Each structure stands twice: as C-alpha cells, then as structure tokens.
Structure 1
C-alpha cells in the first residue's frame, strides 16, 4: 500500500518564536523618535516651516524652544537612520529566510511592490510626510545587491553614503524650491490644515507633493546606503549572534563621536574649508549607529530585557503603529478633526505624542498575546506570499 504523500507547507514569514527580540526592541524605541519628529516638526506645523529664516527663535516659549533644540540635535534624522538600518537588516533576513525558495527574488520584489502601494496610498490619502514610498523604491535598488557577496553589499553602502555626503558639499542645482515658494506654502498650510475639511486638506496635501519630492531625492542615496549597511550588519553576524564587547565599544565610540560632530556642525566649529557642511550629516549617521549598537547591546542582557522588553511588541507592529499615528495625528491637528494645527507648542504636542505612544505600547502587547502579527503586517505578508497567512496564535493543524 502506498503511503500518503507528505504536504510541505510553502515558505512563509519568519515565525514569531524565531524573531530576534533585540531588533524588535530597537525598532520600537526608534519609532518613538520618529513619532516625536513627525509630530513636532510636521503635524503640528508645516514641514517647511523649519526651512524659514530664524524659525527656531519664534518656536514659542523657552520650554518649546528647548524641546525643538533637543529633538533637532539628538533625534531628528537619527531616528529615521535607525529605521533605515533596520529595514535593510530586515530585507537581508527575509532574503536569507527564503534561501531554499526558487521564487525568492520574485517574492521579495512583490513584497516591495506591495509596500510601494501602501506608501502611495498613505502619501496621497493620509499624510504626505510618508516614508514608505521612498523605502519601497530604495529597497528595489538594494535587492540586486543581496544577490552578490558580502563585499558588494559593503561597497554599495559606502558608495551611496559617499554620494549623499558629497551632495552636502555640492547640492544639485535647482533641486529645492525657492524661499518665496516655501513661504507661500507655509502661509497656505497654516490656513488650510487648521480649518479645512477633508476634501480641502486632501487637495492641498496632493499639491504639496512636488515641493516634498526634492527632500526625498536629497535623502535617497543615504537611505539606500543605510539599507545596505543594515544588510551588511546582518550578514556579518553582529545582529545574528551579538558580540557584546563589539556592540558596547561601538556604541560608546559612535555616540561620543557622533554627538561631537553634530554639535560641531551646529556651532559651525568646523567652518574651515566647508567642513561644517559634512559634520552634521556625518554625525547623524555615526550617532544613529551608536544608538543602535547601545540599544541592541542593552537588550541582550537580562537587565536590559527587563527594562526594554516593553518595546518589542511595539517593534513587531511598527508598520501598523506608524500608519495609526498618521491617522490619529491627522485627526488631532487638521481641520476635519480637532484643528489644532499651528495652535500647540512643541512641548504640548510632544506630551500628546507620548500619550499616544504609551497607548500603542499597551495595545501592541495586548494584540500580540492573541495574534501572530499586527493587522497591517499580516496584510503585507498575505499579499507578498499570495496565500492567506495564519493570524490566530492557536496551534496550526498538521498538514494532511
């Protein structure tokens, strides 16, 4: 009698039990920085207000100015750099996870195309400060590098980061809008975002996209370079089997050096030969590496797990939480909701953001005690694999 054929379950997402908690912790902590910057600099006021002359001097009372100064020096692009590093590492993890699948490249391509669709919907319908579209496009460029050896990934990272730093010294001519266009947009934003209905806000949001695209073009080489650097970190084994001494020493050196460079750039200490133009962008990257190494090192200790474990569920649901923040803050600040745009200082807005973040921490923990993935994470995986992914934590039935 012939035995029944064995059904092999097609490769699917990384199982929750196989996830690396320290990476999820880092993603959850980084999301706090992203929330703070998005809220204070882009939901509360126009994204372009920061480019106006002497904008920080008119940022409210001393507490508000202090909040803005701390965020700009310590968080700002560092949080986004961390997310870029983590996205690159995640792409490398997926690439490795699907090593035995002949459709690996096609599945990862589909994963990025689905992300692109999510990003365009988010950009057009919810908030034009979206980063998902840029991540999807950068991921499509990074994907072929993953087919090559480790040295190619490292070389690509250095090349794209070098291009980004070179752009600080020689900005592409005609890339950015004029000061007059920025001032006009800020004036219109102060009126429409604060008082407009959903249709009026949507129309203005779409009209701002041509002004926002140059910002993404300017940052695009950095995003690609950091993706590749994150992929290299994974392939080198630093994140797979963390080397505590290496992580601690890297964290200490990078935080110290990065902070020095950022402060030097802000204070124009390195003005000779235009060096100050490189100090802040280079310091931002170095500081982000220091933050990442320090948090991962801490999360791999018993005490660190106790102190930082709350961030892991939030990090596992970062996609869902990121989109939820856009919906929540849009309702709080735009005219179709509470209409608080331009009416709150940085400190008050940040307090609201912290309350939302704490609520998301609790919700993420509650959700993941019942389900395998966050709602958007589940949808992303289902569309990527073209098969209905299990959602409940109930044990899967064995294949017939």
Structure 2
C-alpha cells in the first residue's frame, strides 16, 4: 500500500532529522580539533573509551550522514520541480533563487560562524544538478554511479599502473604526521580557545578557504549522491516503500554488507592500507552504507511501533536548516574563547555525549516551535527569498514542511 502525502513528508523529514544527528556527531570534533590535525589523521586522545568512540564513529557515522543530506538534496530537487510544474511556475527561476540564497547563507555561515560549512558546496553543485533535471531515471542512475566511482577508480588506477605515482601519493610517516598535527592543535587551541574575536575571525576565514579546497575532492561524490536521490524520487522508491520493499531490502542487504566490510577494513586496517586502498574503501564504502541506512530507516518507518520512535526525528528535520546553523552557534559558544573556551579540552567520547545532548535539546526546541508556527525561522527567510512572497501562502500545512530543502 502506498503511503499518503502526509506520511511521505513525515518519512523524509524524519530521515533528515536522523541525518542531522549524525552531522553534529561528526562536526563537533572540528570545533575542538585543528583542521590540519584532523587532515593528518593524528589521534590526540588515549584511553579505550576514546578509541572505541572514534572507532564506532569511523565505521558507522563519518562520511555517511553528509551523504544522506546530499541524497535528500537531489530528492528534493525533483519534488520541487514537480511541484513547480503542477502550479504552472518556472522551476528554473525558483530553483536559481533558492540556490543563490543557500550560497549566501553558506558564505555567511563559513565566514562568521564556522569554517566547515557545507551549504556553500551544496549551492554550487546544485547549479550543476540542474543540468540533469530532464534526464530519465536510468540516465540519472548511470551518471550517479559514474560520479561516485570516478575518484576511487582514478586514484586506484593511477597508483597500480604507476609505481612512482603511488609512492608520491603515500602519506608521510606517522611520527612526522603526529608532530605536525600536535603543532597545529596547540596553535589553534591558542587562537580558538583563548584568542580574541578578531584572531578567531582571521583563523576561521583561513580555515574556511582551506576547507573549500579540501572539499573539491568530494565534489563528484556529493553530486553523485544528489543524482541518486533524484533517481529515487523519480522511481518513487520512498513514495511507495511497501510496494518497493524488495528493491529496498536488496539494497540494504547487498549495499549494507559491502559498505560495512569496506568501512571495517578502512577503520581497522587503516595504518596498513596503501593510499589507493583507503580511497576505495572511503569513496565506495561510505555511499553504500549511507544508502543502506536510508533503506533501513524507510523500512522501519512502515512499522507502527518504530514509526512512533523515529517520528521524533521529524521535528528537527522540519527545521533542519535552522538547526544545522544553530548547532554551529552552540558549538562555538561551548568551545571558543567567546564562550566556555573548551577547545581541545574535551575527548571524543564526551564530544559525542555533548552532541547527543545538543540534538536532544533541538528536538524539544523544534517541537515547541512547530506547535506555534508551521515553519522554522531560517526556513521562512529562505522560502521568502525563493518565492518573493509570503512562504506560508505557497501551499497548505503539509506543503510547508521543507521536504525539498537541503542542508
């Protein structure tokens, strides 16, 4: 039996809220650890509980939930396209304004709040996504697979065919990496944890620029997940979960098992893997596991008992734009010198606990807000820019829920 419109919105919003939890579990580390230290893969904390927290995060969370957001971005483009056509409005005009507003939000976020902003990248890649809006589902799937595989294939092919290139791609020694990582951690702790607002602003801009260049390698993967989400939407795989149950279950079993194996290899044998092996495990395993998570979530949502539990994710999910930026504000107040100044003082296990507490507070905040108003504050501003009018007049109560908004 196909789900009705309201149930479908609840599923997507709940899935988005679920992704929002995974996002803060990862992002919180970047608020208390130097970007360069993370890039060099330096472990600053000892103790089995910290190591276990990092291991579990590496296998289950890192790199997966941002891909779920990417999936939902592409899924939402198709929803907005269909809605615009049904209302006789210009999709191109609406979507370009939407992406432009997202780009502005991203720039403000990255420059003035937190350097790890993802909205800037989503906006830029969103313009490329528009090139595929008329494609058939099969074409979208093919392009999605090509984009998802292009980086690991190129890295692995170059490494295996050219031994000297392979050696050039290998990371520096662990001792050198640790020395460099510790240096940058101490430097950034002095700035973010103890520095002035001006010093933090200068360092944040520098890190924002570095983060943008670091993300370029992941652009094909993100665009590939955009197209995968668009493919799912055009195929109505999440519109009619019961009817598509076999396909989704097959994706969960095959994709989940292969993705989990690759992530286990990456996390447990990382020190012994060649660079090309890490690239394959990361760029293939993470999307497979992300898709498996989406499938598992959708299947569980069909069970009434599970739906009551998972429905709580829908509250922050309906306000994910507001909550995503609010997470950055709260983490800044916790870890930077203009707040509590806990930068570099909190280990991975406690970081994850703080992230869960923040998200729980956002669930409560979102539910209270939505009891009074049908749309989040920043969602309102975004839709105001998108439609050049009162967002609350763009549709009924069910349509107000931001099913096609990207994070």
TM-score (norm 2): 0.85
Give ranges in structure 2 of 5+ residues lacking alignment.
Answer: 160-164, 398-407
- 8 Å CA contact 1:254–1:289 kept in 2: the answer is yes
Equivalent residue in structure 2 for 1:159, among 140, 146, 153: 146
Shift of 1:218: 0.8
- 8 Å CA contact 2:106–2:117 kept in 1: the answer is yes
Q: Which moved more, 1:205-214 or 1:369-378?
A: 205-214
SS of equivalent residue, structure 2 residue 62: helix
Deviations 1:315-372 (CA, angstroms, capped at 9, x unpaired): 1111110000000000110011110000111122222211111110111111112211
TM-score (norm 1): 0.86
- 8 Å CA contact 1:124–1:206 kept in 2: the answer is yes
Q: Which moved more, 1:73-82 or 1:248-257?
A: 248-257
* Partner Cα distance (1:377, 1:288) in 2: 25
Task: State the match for 2:229 in structure 1.
Answer: 230
* Partner Cα distance (1:28, 1:273) in 2: 34
- 8 Å CA contact 2:148–2:283 kept in 1: the answer is no
Deviations 1:87-132 (CA, angstroms, capped at 9, x unpaired): 1111111111111434211111110111000000000000000000
Task: State the match for 1:245 in structure 2.
Answer: 246
Residue 49 in structure 1 maps to residue 50 in structure 2: no
* Partner Cα distance (1:260, 1:119) in 2: 35
Q: Which moved more, 1:177-186 or 1:109-118?
A: 177-186
Give the 3 Å change call, closer, same or farther, for CA 48–300 of structure 1 in structure 2: farther
SS of equivalent residue, structure 1 residue 339: coil
* Partner Cα distance (1:272, 1:194) in 2: 35
Q: How many residues align?
A: 376
**TM alignment of 1:314-333, pairs within 5 A:** 314-333=316-335
Give ranges in structure 1 of 5+ residues lacking alignment.
Answer: 1-15, 396-400
Q: Which moved more, 1:239-248 or 1:255-264?
A: 239-248
Residue 141 in structure 1 maps to residue 128 in structure 2: yes
Residue 64 in structure 1 maps to residue 50 in structure 2: yes
Shift of 1:254: 2.0
Task: State the match for 2:193 in structure 1.
Answer: 194
Q: Which moved more, 1:380-389 or 1:165-174?
A: 165-174
Deviations 1:219-277 (CA, angstroms, capped at 9, x unpaired): 11111110011000110110111123332332233222211111123344996995453
* Partner Cα distance (1:272, 1:342) in 2: 30
Q: Which moved more, 1:208-217 or 1:261-270?
A: 261-270
Give the 3 Å change call, closer, same or farther, for CA 156–367 of structure 1 in structure 2: same
Deviations 1:124-181 (CA, angstroms, capped at 9, x unpaired): 000000000001111110012012322332232122212232354359999x999798
* Partner Cα distance (2:23, 2:356) in 1: 12
Q: Which moved more, 1:91-100 or 1:286-295?
A: 91-100
Structure scoring higher RCO (CA < 8 A, sep ≥ 6) equals 2
Higher helix share: 2
Give the 3 Å change call, closer, same or farther, for CA 137–273 of structure 1 in structure 2: closer
* Partner Cα distance (1:98, 1:240) in 2: 18
* Partner Cα distance (1:329, 1:167) in 2: 37
* Partner Cα distance (2:68, 2:396) in 1: 34
* Partner Cα distance (2:93, 2:184) in 1: 41
Shift of 1:313: 1.3
* Partner Cα distance (1:201, 1:74) in 2: 32
**TM alignment of 1:1-400, pairs within 5 A:** 17=6, 20-39=9-28, 41-52=29-40, 55-56=42-43, 58-100=44-86, 101-169=88-156, 170=158, 185-242=184-241, 243-268=244-269, 274-275=276-277, 277-390=279-392
* Partner Cα distance (2:204, 2:150) in 1: 30
* Partner Cα distance (1:48, 1:355) in 2: 27
- 8 Å CA contact 1:22–1:300 kept in 2: the answer is no
* Partner Cα distance (1:110, 1:261) in 2: 39
* Partner Cα distance (2:154, 2:193) in 1: 35
- 8 Å CA contact 1:52–1:183 kept in 2: the answer is no
Give the 3 Å change call, closer, same or farther, for CA 196–225 of structure 1 in structure 2: same
